[in-house]
Structure formats: C-alpha cells, structure tokens
Structure 1
Amino acid sequence: MGLTQRALPDTPVGPDAFVLGRRRLRSGFRRSDTSRFCDDVWRLAPVLHQRQQASLILNFPAIPARFRPAVKVLFYALLNNKPPAGERQLGVVTIHGYFQAFKEFLDWLDPQHHDRFSSLTPVDLCQFQKHLLATVSSAKQRANHRRSVRLLWTWREHLADDHIPVDPDRLEDDWNEDNSRARRRENANPRIPEQVISPLVVWSLRFVDDFADDILAAQDEWLALQKKTRRDSHSGHGARRRLAALMRRYQADRRPLPGGTEGQHGINIRHLAREVDCDRQSLMAPASWGLIEQAREDVGVDDSTYLRTEIRGLLDGEPWLKRISYDEDLVVLVRILTAAAYTLIAYLSGMRDSEVKHIRRGCLTTDADRTGKITRRKIISMAFKGEGTPLGVEATWVVGRPVARAVEVLDRLQPKRQRWLFAVPPSSHSHKAPRTTEAKTTKATNNDLNLMVTWINDYCRQHGRTDHIPDVSRRPWRLSTAQFRRTLAWFIGRRPGGSIAGAIQYRHLSIQMFEGYAGTSKSGFRAEAQQEALLARGEGLSLMVDRHEHERLRGPSADEARVRLDKFGDRVRFLGKTPDDNQMKKLMERNDPRIYPGRFVTCTDNPNRRLCRLPGEKDMNPDPGQCKPLTCRNVALTDSNAQAWLQRLAELDARLQASDALAPRVRVRLEEDRAEIQAFLTRAGVLEPADAST
C-alpha cells in the first residue's frame, strides 16, 4: 500500500475500516457501500439526513502527501470517536468545513518544509495567524481556520506523537483576536436593512397573491407542451390536419407565429412541431410548409416564442406582464415565485433554512372556531439544531395568512408525486438531472433570492416605478437564507414605527410564533427576539439619559427611575464610547435598571408593587398587557407618555361632545374614564388642578 492507503503506526484504524461506521445512514444506503479508511476520497452523502444538503466529500489527494496519513487519522476520529473532555461532538457538515479550512492551513505550511505537526512551534502558529490577517477579510472565517488547526491539539490522543506541542489558545493575543470567543457565541448573520426588507416583502406578497396564478398557469401549459411526443407515429396526413387547424387558430387569434432561429423566415419550427405533436421534418414537407407560409404572410412572425397563458394578475390596475415567453421568462419567473414564497415563510415564521426546506405536501393545518373562522394556521416540519439527533424531530410553527398562502402556492407548483415543496420545480432545466438532494440547496436558494432582487429592479426601471429594492452603501444587498431569522427577531424586538411590508403586524405574529416554538421546538427563536428587545431597551434608556429626558420624569415612581437611570448612565459612560451590541448585552444582563418604556407609561419595575402579576411571579418581567397605569405605583411618565394621555383625553372629549348619540350607560362610562385620567394626570403633575376642573 502507498502512503495514502495505510494507517499511522500504533493506531487502531485498519485500511478497511468504515469511516462512517458509527454514523446513522440515510435510508437507501448500505454500510458495505460506504467509504473505507484506505479510500482516497471519503463520501459523506450517506450520513447527510437533511433534504437540502448537497453531497460532500473529504478529498485526501488535495492534502500534501507527507501529512495525509495523520490527517486521515484525525478526520476518522472526528467522524467516529467520542470527543475529548470539554469538546462537543461535531456534525458531518462542520467536519467537512474544518477539512476545507485545514487544507488551506496545509497549503500555507507545505512550502515551509515541516514533515510533522509535532515540529510546529508557537512562532509558526503566530505566523499563520498573521497570514490569515493578511489574506482573509472575515473575522468569522479566520476563527474557523484557527479552530481547525486547534484540532491537532484537542484530538491529540488519536494522533500518537504527531500533534502540535502546545494549545494555540494559550498563545492569547498572538493567536486569538479581540472578543473572538464572545463573537463566536453571537448571531453573526447580518440583519437585512429596513429599506431592503420592506420592498422585498411587498414584492414577495405580490408574487404569491397576485402573480402566482399566471405563473402556475404558464407552467401547466409549458409542461403540457413538454409531454408532446417529438415524433408522431402517424405523422403524414394526421400531422397536416392538425397543422392546418393550428394555423387557422393563429390566424383567427391574429397571433404571430412563434419566432426563433430554426427553420426559415425566423419561425420556431421546433415549437410548432411541439404544438402539432409531430416531428420537425413533417412540417418541412412542401404541403405542410405551404400552410405555415400562408399563415406567416397573414399574421407575421413574433420576436420570440410566447405561451398562450392570458395574464390576469394586476399591478396598479394594469396587467403586470404582457405575456410570458416559452424559453426565457417561465424558468426565471418560477424561480422568483419560489424565492418569494421562501421569503414569506422564512421571514414571517422565523424558521431556519433546514426547517423551511423540510416542508412537505400536507404540512399546513388550520384550527377553526364553531363559526368556521380560522383561529390558527400551523406548519409541521422538521427541526434539527439543538435536537440531539441528525435525523431531526417533528416540530410545529404557528404562522399567519401570508405564510399559509405561500405554502399553498408551492403545493400547486410541484407535481402531485413530489413530497417536498422546495424540490427543484418541474419547469427547471435541471429537473431531470441526477441529484443528491431532495430539496434546493442553500446556495441555490441564495441565488434565487438575489435573482428576484435583480428582476424586481429591472422591472421597476423598465416601467418607471419607484418601489425598487435600493442599494446599501452603493451596492446591491446580497441576500442569504440565514438573514431572515435574524431580521425578524430584530423587528419583533424593536418594533420600529411606520408601515413595514404592508399591513403585517409584527406584534401579532410574534405572539403566534412564540406559542408555536414554545410548544414543540428548541429552535430558540423566542430567545433571539427577546435578546433583540433587551438590546433595544438598553439603547433606548442610554439615549434617554444622554438627552437628559429622565430628569423630566413625573409620576409615582419618577424619583426611583431617575436614580436607576443615573446609575445606568454612569456605567454606559464608563465604557468611554457608544456600546456595541455585545457590550450592551453584557451591561443589560448585569446592570439592567428594569425600566420599561411604553406608549402611555414608563414602568419602573418593582415586583413588590406590581399590579400586573400575581405575588408568586416576582421573578418575571412586568406584563404590559395587564398594566393598570392609573393605580400602579411603578408608573413614571416621560414627555411622550404625557402627550399620549393628553391625546387620549382629547379623544374622550370629542366622543362626549356627541353625547346625544350615545347610550346613557356608554356616556357615563366615558365620563368616568375621563375623570380617572384627569385625576391621574393631576397627581402626576401633568395637569394643574385648575386644568383638571375644566
């Protein structure tokens, strides 16, 4: 055996050992057909259980020959052995990522004439870190490279005496970057900017609600044409008769013949043959060609080949397209429709990409009340992260109407025999190509999302529209599947003002989604949204102190709120700069002033004085939905709170002016409400007693 086909001395790994021996296989694979230790290429597809995951390999010929035996033993251990103390069991995709990063480390190391990993010194490792700083712009990627190299230390018991002699993490600043460990635990996916996500969701709703029927009808027509035989067993007279009927139809509809590069006079003969259901040569016979030529002289030839599907969808009262071409438009529009459905599902449910890709036919269920009104819409899929099994577990998400509509569109887009709603659609050029995945890969979906942005902007430019998707820092925003969950958590946590993506109510959706996640899934989305809310509250309180707004607080707890906010402001100023998300998170976790700004009141939470919670719930946050602002002693008022109450008084006055039209009981209740609010504002110093009496 050559160097690549034998195990290291003193290791228990034999050449015929199955490298996936302790991993659970996907259905359809046999252990005897999987890769062995002596193979140059280890195929990981048999243990990739998620439907959207592309086939992966560990390609050892790409590793410098002198390091290959040790690298094989290392990655065999990663795939099969229990992790060392303090380390976690790695997934197959993570191992593949480490292999790619490790290969780059070895490419850097190869020219330096090291024969063994044990000969590396701390200086060598620090030089590699300098190489990373010079060549890799992403701190996250640099950290991944360093973690792959550290495997030579953490898994040293499996490498005999050929491992690095020192733990790289002990090199401190020469190896690690500032805050790299803290950042590793944070959600590093960028948030989609508001100016991008808003028009993106609006256009996604248009595709799913307004344009989908046209695209689906066009795909049905396209598929029906694809099923036509290329040769007609009884072409001859039968084909001429069908051709004559087709030409009469073109002339009756005043429809130009399909254009193309084949045949004569720019006519798409292939398409005509498909419509007639015969071979092209039959149409070139003199008698048949005479029928085509006669029609051409009457109606002419189009600039391309268009489907007959009538465009019914409207945009601002006009058809959104004139027609859909057979060869170009349909494939692109189906991809965009799929991307639009993905956007609504991922963004308005909080599902991860792997969870979205496991949506199956029949996954959508509804609950209704006695009158038949739908009260809940639920999606059943598979959750993987944090579930303790690569097979995933069934989970339920409570969703809104836009998500349900997107699922219904995908159900119609896929043929009945297809279980997976994010499979490659039947109109795709690669639909019949051999595939290792049953759902679109993450990369393919990313490409579809960015194709949608390009199409939208081209469409807006051609039609003089202003609702395009703008650039960010003078460049198109590059969408990826991982960004939607982070963005939704941000919006739910902060709920910025204005109309975001039409009439979608983030607060309502957040309550529904929290219910679904809390019930059946460990996805952690609720924690992410609550984390964003914590950061938003900290930033808001810091800004309140910076503007000295807390000094003008009024109400029962105003003095206590000022003391808490002064201390909080001192801690913010101690940092010497505007805190980033990580610093603000730590600050709020350790020194949360427990002040909760709202529209009508600013709650200075004291569990002993709460009226919104039962006495036994002291460790919980205050419940805004049960707030009793007119009687609770935890209430403080900012200037904006006071203005909201004054506006409420004005609304009551306006209703009471129409008291003749009110029922006596309603009028009395409004007068009581007005009196209670006036008394409250007078006690808080917002109104003078004279104002209250009037």
Structure 2
Amino acid sequence: MLFRVRDAAFCLVAALSMMRDSEIHEIRRGAVVQHYNAPAIKSTLDKGRAGRPGKHWWITEPVAEAITLAEIVSVHEDRVFSPLKRPESTEAVHGDQMIDAFITEANSSRSWTGLDEIPDGRVRPHMFRRTMAMLTDQFPGSEIALGIQLKHVAARALANRTTLSYAAGDAQWAELLETALEATRFRRFKDLYGQHKAGTSIGYGPGADRVKEVFDEIISSARANGGDSRVEDDLLRKARITIRFGMLNNCLFDEANPKGAVCLENAVIPQGHTGPLEGRCRPDRCRNSVIGIEHVPLYDSHRRTQLKLLQTRRLPAARKAIIRREVERVDAVLAQVNEENT
C-alpha cells in the first residue's frame, strides 16, 4: 500500500506541476511553501543552470495534499520522491516505473473503483509536462506564465522558442486534446440541463431562451419515449447547440449558421480564422449571448466600478464619454437579468 500511495502522488505532481522527473525527485520534506502569496513547491532546478539553483513551482491545493501524503508514507529521511528499492526488486525505482506501476494498479482495481481503463501506451513524466503546457496555452497571455513555470532559460521574460515548442499543438495529441475539451464542454452543458430540469434558471438573454427551448424539447421527447438519463444524454449530444463557455458570457455561435453574430458585423476576419471574434463580443445585444448566473456579479461589480470612476475630479470629457458608454452596455446586460426576474 505504501508504494501504491507514493506512485499515485508522484503521478499527480508530475501531471499538474510541469516539473521534470529529476526535479520531482529532488523535493524535500517541507517543500510546500508560500511563494508570492500562492502555494508552491520548492525544489532544485536540474537542467540548464550551473550550480543547481533552488526554484519554486506554483501548484494547486490537490498537488500540495499529494506531497503531504507522500511525506507521510515516505521511508526516506529527507527526500519525498527519492528513488527507492522495492521488496521484489534490487533496482532503484524512478519516475517512469512509478507511473507504470500506478497504471497497472489502477487498471487491476477497476472492479471496485469503477474507473475507466487506462489504455495501453508509453507514459512518461515529460509527457505530463508537455500536455499541461499545451492546455495552458489555450488561455490568452499564457506564454510568459508557461516560461516561468517550465523554468526555460531565456532573456525575454522567461519565455522563448522552447516554451513555444512545448505549447504548440502536437499532431499525435491534437485529437485526444480536442476530445478532452469536448467532454468538458458536454459535462458543463449537461449540468445546465440538470439545472433547467430542476427548475433553476440557467441564464438570461436571447441565447439563454434558445437553450431553454432545446432543453424543453429534450425533456418532452424523453418523457414521451419513457426514457431515462441515458436517453437524455443521447438527446443532449444530438442537440443542435454549439456553446462556448466564457468569463463574461457563454456564446452560441454556430459556424454553420453565423448570421446574427454581432462580433462579425463589419469585421475584417483574419485568414484561416474560424469561430467568433472574441475581442469584438457584445453580450449586450448579440442573439448568441447567454448571460449565466455566474456572470451577473461580474457585471454588477463592473458597473459600480465605472460609476465610481465617473466621480473622479477633473476627468477628461473624452474619458467620461467612454465610461458612460461602458455603463450603458453593462446596463443593457443587467436589464436582461432584471426583465426575467420581474
């Protein structure tokens, strides 16, 4: 059991921290610290720098918990993930062997865990590092953050060609990544369906009304056919709804029928671009916009901030005009919320 727990903890740290195999093995007891007011791992940089300097890698709470658990079960006096010897082997065990052992254990325990089988294939720590870099690159402005976390040596803000090569899509992995993203989107879409079925509001605006109509049709079809949740899942997958979940709204832009998308009005579309132009998004008047429950506090806070700015003394007239226009747009969004709640 001790080895199984260590293997699982190692896989989690390798998958979510973007650390190299050698850097994970250098983690010492008490390595989870606060770095710029965020949880981080303190370890040794083992590549590209003379003297093996100490560095910090930012982590999430699950990674911190995994390291804490690994410390408890570790038999080594200092290192948490140092190469160790197992009873049945005289050879030191390294990261790749820990991952293989974890996959074997996870697959052999499926009868009681209920987890999906991990398919055959070669899995190594650097693959986790690359995959996380590719996923992180989906967010705007991530290049510098990736360079810092990956510890790439560069003169330009710790982000160079090596960082870009890590984040660039891989032809062999692109299909798997897209499948994972589609699965995540479907889970969130299914959650919205569950909320609507339970009588809870899923959002506001013309886009939300379209989604509600589709959900009502699915509920009626499932009931008419005596269907269960599996039938509902099939109907949801077949629903003609393309949804993109965003920070300020959710977008129903349909590439097969882009008519009515405000972001494309009088716009110069870059060559090869598909989908909406997010920088031109107008949630206040686009028929594709869904203002979710989670978005309302953001708009309310933004409105109060803009009104406070208007009270600034000696504010230039042009600046006041821009702020008032922004308040009008926010008011138009919040009006959709107030209209449904009245």
Considering only CA atoms, is the larger Rg found in Structure 1 or Structure 2?
1
Q: Scaled by the length of structure 1, what TM-score is found?
A: 0.27
Q: Scaled by the length of structure 2, what TM-score is found?
A: 0.49
